[in-house]
Structures are given as structure tokens and as C-alpha cells.
Structure 1
Amino acid sequence: MTRYMLILRSTPEAEKAMENVDFNDVIEAMGRYNEELIKAGVLLAGEGLAGPEDGFVVDFDSDTPVVTDGPYTEAKELFNGFWMLGVSSIEEAKQWARKCPLGPGARLEVRRVTETEEFPQDNEWVQKELKWKKEGVWQ
């Protein structure tokens, strides 16, 4: 099994396109998609995010990180949620991504999740991560 994260990104165009859409229709479409993922046995996790007004950004450009409360006026796309899939191949991840019920202006960024085994196994922190995962502290 290879894990892929489908990252939902929204643009101003997507938000405008959603202005006249019944939110119940959105919930139904997402619910059906999630149910299909569950029935196929590929959904590992998934969550939506609250709006940017409830968040903040930490900028590490200076010696002391600077925290800026949302909303983020400079952002062209917002990260609005994600799905974590466990699939057999990148092709399967692409198939599921194409089925996502999103509209104009929305985007899915799909990224493979690295596995601990891909890192140097003699590294102290890699060994700790493997131990944490075995203990169930970290999934």
C-alpha cells in the first residue's frame, strides 16, 4: 500500500462558483465520494478545515518567527481539507482524485506520503519514529 494525500485547494474563482450552490448538495456529493472511498477500502483519513479567519501563519523569514492571524490576504489558494488514501499505485490515486466532486476553480494537489523506511535506518530520530509508530503514539 502506498499512501497519497489529496489536498483540497480553493481559489477565489471556486468560492464565487459556490455562491449559488446549496450547501446540502455539497455535503451530499462529498458524502457519496467519501462513502465510495470507504467501500473501496482506500480511505485512511480525511478532514475539512475551518475558514482562514480561524487560523494563522507562522513566518520563519526572521530570527524570531512572526505570527500573522488569518485571513491571509496574500493567498491565492487556500488549503481547505484533505483525504489520505492507501492505494496500490499512483494510477489508482489519480483515478480517485479525478472522481472528487469539485467544481471550477478548485484544485486537488496529490502527493505521495513518504514512509519511515525511506530514511536512513541508523538515524536516532528515525529509530524513535519507528518506536513511536510501533507503540501507537504516532500513526
Structure 2
Amino acid sequence: MSDDETQIRGLITRWAEAVHRGDLDGVAAAHTEDVVLFDVPPPHDGVRGIAAYRKVWPPFFTWQAQGACFEIDSLEVTAGTDVAFAHALLRCGTPAELAEHPTRRLRLTIGARKEDGRWLIAHEHHSFPHG
């Protein structure tokens, strides 16, 4: 695994841990100012920019406080010299939801770019399979 892949893996792991803790500053850290997010809940045309990105998380944290988990199950990273992508599957749900659908995973795709020698997340896409 290259040093860049290791750095990106660490960045995504820290992001997921911040999501699980409900730490908005930690979630928004290491994102570009022009980040684009396509998320499960509306708006379905996505959110653009770090300010809009920060606004989508508090309702999720409220839901998650009911005892839901948010943890990486698998993560693959491919890194070039200044752009990279990653895809992951995450366990995301309340205990009741996970009991009803034990194999259901949140799908995560991330696009990253290197700015001033530092990897930042420029794009996120979260989705669940239908059914």
C-alpha cells in the first residue's frame, strides 16, 4: 500500500469515527471548500460547499443518538499523485434496522484531491440499495 493510500485510509477512518461520535468539526475536517455531497436524504440534487455540507449532519446525529451505529465494514482506496477515489461499505442503522436487515450496508464513494500536499475529500456519495 502506498503512503498516499495509507493517508487517505486514515483520513476516511477518522471521518467515520467523527460521524459515529457526532463530532461535526471532525466530520467537516479534511474537506475542500467546494465539497459536493450526494446523500441518502434530500436534497437529491446534492449539497455543494462546506457550509451546506455542515448543515446536513445535525439531523443525522439526532437520529444516530437513538443507538445507531456507523462503522466501516470494508474500505478500498486507489490513489494517484493528486487525485484519488475510495469506496466503502458501512454498517449504518439502529439495532432494530440491523436485526431486520443484517447484511444491508451503506455504500460510500469518496473522491479526494491533494491540495498543498494534503489529501482532502472533494466528493462524497452515500447510498443504500433498494429493498
Q: TM-score, normalised by structure 1?
A: 0.27
Task: Say which structure is richer in strand.
Answer: 2
Structure possessing the higher relative contact order (Cα contacts under 8 Å, 6 or more residues apart): 1
Which structure: larger Rg?
1
Q: TM-score, normalised by structure 2?
A: 0.28
